Structures are given as C-alpha cells and as structure tokens.
Amino acid sequence: MMRLLQEIRSRTVDLFAEVGRYALFTGRLLMETPRALTRPSLVITQVHNAGALSLVIIMLSGLFVGMVLGLQGFDLLERFGSEDSLGTAAALGLVKELGPVVTALLFAGRAGTALASELGLMRATDQLSAMEIMAVDPIRRVVMPRFLGGIIAMPLLAAIFSMIGIFGAQLIGVQMMGVDPGQFWSQMRGAVEHGDIMEGVIKSCVFGVACSAIAVYEGFHSLPTAEGVGRATTRTVVISSVVVLLLDYMLTAVML
C-alpha cells in the first residue's frame, strides 16, 4: 500500500515537473517570437512544410467529414421536419468544433510527427550540438521557425477544412438528399455569426500553439537514439491529441 502511494506521489511529481518544463519551454518560444519574425524566409519555409504539405490530407478529411455530417445531419433533421437547416448545422459544427479539432488532430499526426522526428534526428546526429559550437542558437535558428510555421499554418488549415467540409455537406444534402439549395445557403448565412467564426479561429490558434510547442519540445528533448526519436514522435501524437481535446472542452466552456 505504501509502495503504491509512493508510486502515485512520484508520478504526480514527475507529471507536474514535466508540465513545468513544457511551460518554461513554451514561454521561451513566445519570448523569442518577435526576434524570429525578423527572419521571415525561415518561417515561410516552415509554413510551407507544416501547412502546404498537409493540404491533401486536410482537404480529403474535410470532404469526408462534411459528407458524413451531411448524411447524419439530414437523417436527424428530417425526423423533426427541419432538413432545410442542414446548412446551418453543418456550418456551425464545422466552423466551431470539427474544423479546429479534427485539423489539430490531423496536424499532430502529419506535421507534428514530422517536426518531432526531424528535430530528434538533428539531435541524434549532433546537428544541434554543431550549431551550438558554431555559436548559433538552435532554438532561434531551428525551433522557432518551426514553432511559428505551425502556429500560422493551423488556422489556415482549419479554415480550409471547414470550407471543404461545408462543400461535402452540401454535396450530400443538396445534390443527393434533395435539400433546397437556397434554403441550405441562406439559412447558413443567416445563422452563422461573426462570433461563431471567431470561436473557431481562436480555437485553431490555441491548438496551433499547443501542437507546435509539443512537437518541437518532444523533438528537441528527445534522446539521441533511434528509440528516442521514435518515442518522441509517439509522444507528440499522444500528448497533442489529449491536450487538444482537453483544451477544446475548456475553450468551449468559456466561449459558449
């Protein structure tokens, strides 16, 4: 029993220590942001890596999520005779919730793992140490552009996801199920407010900071071995997913 309590205590202390390290690291990244923006070419390259290279998976996923939303939404709304509200339901669901959350989860799986493994490999092959010896701060030169690239890419990807998702819902609802297109679009325009869109934008920005910080933290601090890089990649996906869902609940509770 005592051993169990000690184990729980030890794990709790470790957890808080890890959270503290994350907070300090993220704090340093945010402090370095103004300086990093003075080298925009490095950031733009990383926006391309994290954003443009994730476009296909984001667009495909958005399309299918939108189509499923169209099918399920139509089935549900038809029971109440309000299938004309499908556009509103799909748009609100995508813009406020599914767009930011699913984009963040996909981002963690595609761009997050790429970031973590890239940094982990740089650590394992002494590239980061070589930069230190060349008096080049690897946080400023390597980590910051990747962190900012992720933050900038996330809201853009979430917007594209939501847009394609609405198109998918329209494809199913209007083209297949026969919902009136005028009703679909006009009800959507009437019901979706500026605040709803801002809620999605805020969420995707917060998720962008969280996912990017987790990916670069795990990669930068990975053990310099093949196993260490693999573990950092796995931890990136697991921690990002849990944190995104946790943050989503907290943000929704605050903004509703």
Interface with another protein (CB under 8 A): 121-122, 125-127, 129-130, 132-137, 141
In the complex, least distance from residue 15 CB atom to another protein, rounded to whole angstroms: 24
- 3-state SS, one letter per residue, for 154-206: HHHHHHHHHHHHHHHHHHHHHHHCCCCHHHHHHHHHHHCCHHHHHHHHHHHHH
In the complex, least distance from residue 121 CB atom to another protein, rounded to whole angstroms: 8
Decide whether 1 or 31 has the Cβ nearer to another protein.
31
In the complex, least distance from residue 126 CB atom to another protein, rounded to whole angstroms: 4
Decide whether 124 or 201 has the Cβ nearer to another protein.
124
Decide whether 46 or 88 has the Cβ nearer to another protein.
46
| 247 token code pair | 């943050």
In the complex, least distance from residue 104 CB atom to another protein, rounded to whole angstroms: 26
Decide whether 49 or 170 has the Cβ nearer to another protein.
49
In the complex, least distance from residue 152 CB atom to another protein, rounded to whole angstroms: 20
Q: Are 224 and 124 in contact (CB under 8 A)?
A: yes
Q: Buried b vs exposed e over 162-188: b needs ≥16 C-beta within 10 Å?
A: bbbbbbbbbebbbeebebeeebbeebb
Helix runs in the chain, H state only: 2-36, 40-50, 55-79, 86-92, 99-107, 113-124, 127-133, 138, 144-170, 181-191, 194-220, 226-255
In the complex, least distance from residue 128 CB atom to another protein, rounded to whole angstroms: 9
| 12 token code pair | 């709790």
Q: Are 236 and 119 in contact (CB under 8 A)?
A: no
In the complex, least distance from residue 133 CB atom to another protein, rounded to whole angstroms: 5
Decide whether 1 or 41 has the Cβ nearer to another protein.
41
Decide whether 121 or 255 has the Cβ nearer to another protein.
121
Close Cβ partners of 128 (under 8 Å, ≥ 6 residues apart): 119, 122, 138, 142, 220
Decide whether 82 or 129 has the Cβ nearer to another protein.
129
| 13 token code pair | 């202390």
CB atoms within 10 A of CB 250: 11
